Chains A and B, each alone.
Chain A
């Protein structure tokens, strides 16, 4: 392409016509007008409108609603469910992030070595990424269901008592983290694999000559040079985990009670099952703040590490 560009630039008259100069300084704003219209109508305007709704007692379908000031916010901060939901949302976000990064990096290190089967392993690990999380959730329901689930079939085969993984409120948030990790660990793996392949072999050869152990090499060469990949993965996985919705609906529906509810599923149930749209909007604003603060913190922390490295 650069060859072509060279040829073209040779034909350009050094004295550029005036018309071109005028065009050069115009912003051509009309070209992004349609895109801007889409985003304003379907994202910016509703987002601002969400603030307005959070100050009302709107039920989600009636024509009128009352302005009730900060009542919904007061309610939110005294509602014990809010804390269950925030705890779960953070658990889904941070738990999935840790697991996906540790396992994803492990897989990438394995597949970066010259072994047979690595193409097959990569394909199989990555496949769930392109499948709907809702359907993935149903598939895992077949495994974790109390009656005739594959897990309990295996457990009882070996003579142990079946476990109610999805019905137990202290276990099922962890199951949800595991399923989310299984589904998206492929993305982390691919990003780490690309990062590993971009590290020059020279570093390792020099370290070998200096007699550094494999662990020392990993700690002092691999990890620091992977810093950009770590930043991307952490930010990506945190945002994905905090927004978790489909898998929860498929596996537990947020239950039992509200035990495995995330912010997204809680808002959904407030809106449709409990006709509590004003409160749903207030919860939406809370989760927006949480996601914003956590992703900015993560970005800031890992960017700083990158510069040091």
Chain B
């Protein structure tokens, strides 16, 4: 590659980077401006106050929302990893007619858009009295991501875990569950990491399910809390910007530190899903 071409391409990359940073730049300038400051969003204010951040944190009840998002995401991720890997094992190892049919069922469900089932699901949740509980949010997200989880685990087990390992353990007198959790599961770390990242990003950011099932403010997750906070503060965008900034920061920091794993994990889900 010639030097001039390299310089042009580097410049192009520079402009793309700047272009993609603009929204975050606007978010920060806005979040630092107090109510009634209508100066251009492109400029920083000539004063410094974090008032928007403290007010937004309290009024949007973000502490509580962080806690709810954290509980729901962690709970769902643990159940997904436990039941998903356990389900994938026989589906990957025992190619009986029944198991093949079940695997097809799981794959078929991946194509069906979850929102199709939202109205009847809401009805069912109301009937069993689980509306506005974190439990229902956890169970729902587990169901929504179960097919993808099983798909990732069974593909990995089939292609990388040697059968001989399990046969040896079997002869040593291990039970099936014992073999799975003591011998197979520890070898599944790479795919467990992918499942964990996919679950964390999508369940943490979920809004469509949460807005249906978590309407009462004490169970609001970050997205739902943001939604109602924005609704109440549409004429004070400084507050909205501060709240949005705080809501996105935990995931953004995790991403910047674990970028390699995030990109690998999310694309493995994308490629196989």
A274 to chain B, nearest CB (A): 13
* Cβ contact within 8 Å between B116 and A288: yes
* Cβ contact within 8 Å between B144 and A43: yes
* Cβ contact within 8 Å between A130 and B171: no
* Cβ contact within 8 Å between A23 and B256: no
* Cβ contact within 8 Å between B223 and A145: no
Query: A280 at interface (Cβ–Cβ under 8 A)?
Result: yes
State A269–B35 Cα separation when bound (angstroms): 31
A292 to chain B, nearest CB (A): 6
Chain A residues, Cβ within 8 Å of B247? 132, 135
State A295–B112 Cα separation when bound (angstroms): 10
Interface string of A18-58 (1 = CB under 8 A from B): 01100111111101101110110111111101101100000
Interface string of A154-168 (1 = CB under 8 A from B): 100100000000000
Interface of B is mostly: helix
- The one of B91, B207, B244, B251 in contact with A139, judged by C-beta atoms closer than 8 angstroms, is B244
Query: A196 at interface (Cβ–Cβ under 8 A)?
Result: no
* Cβ contact within 8 Å between A111 and B13: yes
Query: B104 at interface (Cβ–Cβ under 8 A)?
Result: no
Interface of A is mostly: helix
State A233–B10 Cα separation when bound (angstroms): 26
State A157–B40 Cα separation when bound (angstroms): 9
Known: A117-B13, A194-B267. A130 touches B6 (CB 8 A): no
State A301–B216 Cα separation when bound (angstroms): 46
Known: A53-B123, A134-B226. A267 touches B118 (CB 8 A): yes
Interface string of A274-309 (1 = CB under 8 A from B): 000100110011011001100100000000000000
Chain A residues, Cβ within 8 Å of B120? 45-47, 49-50, 52-53, 281
State A140–B262 Cα separation when bound (angstroms): 24
Q: How many residues of A contact B (CB 8 A)?
A: 107
User: Nearest A residue to B235 by beta-carbon distance?
Assistant: A147
Known: A32-B91, A148-B41, A150-B26. A125 touches B12 (CB 8 A): no
Chain A residues in the interface with B (C-beta under 8 A): 1-2, 4-5, 8-9, 11-13, 16-17, 19-20, 23-29, 31-32, 34-36, 38-39, 41-47, 49-50, 52-53, 60-61, 107, 110-111, 113-118, 120-121, 123-136, 138-143, 145, 148-150, 153-154, 157, 182, 187, 190-191, 194, 232, 236, 239, 242-243, 245-246, 249-250, 263-264, 267-268, 271, 277, 280-281, 284-285, 287-288, 291-292, 295
* Cβ contact within 8 Å between A153 and B30: no
User: Nearest A residue to B249 by beta-carbon distance?
Assistant: A131
Query: B208 at interface (Cβ–Cβ under 8 A)?
Result: yes
B248 to chain A, nearest CB (A): 5
User: Nearest A residue to B7 by beta-carbon distance?
Assistant: A115
- The one of A27, A135, A245, A264 in contact with B244, judged by C-beta atoms closer than 8 angstroms, is A135
Please list 17 pairs of residues, one from A and one from B, whose beta carbons are closer than 8 Å in the complex, sorted by A's number: A27-B96, A32-B88, A53-B120, A113-B1, A114-B1, A117-B10, A125-B17, A129-B201, A129-B266, A131-B252, A132-B248, A135-B244, A187-B270, A245-B208, A246-B207, A284-B116, A284-B119
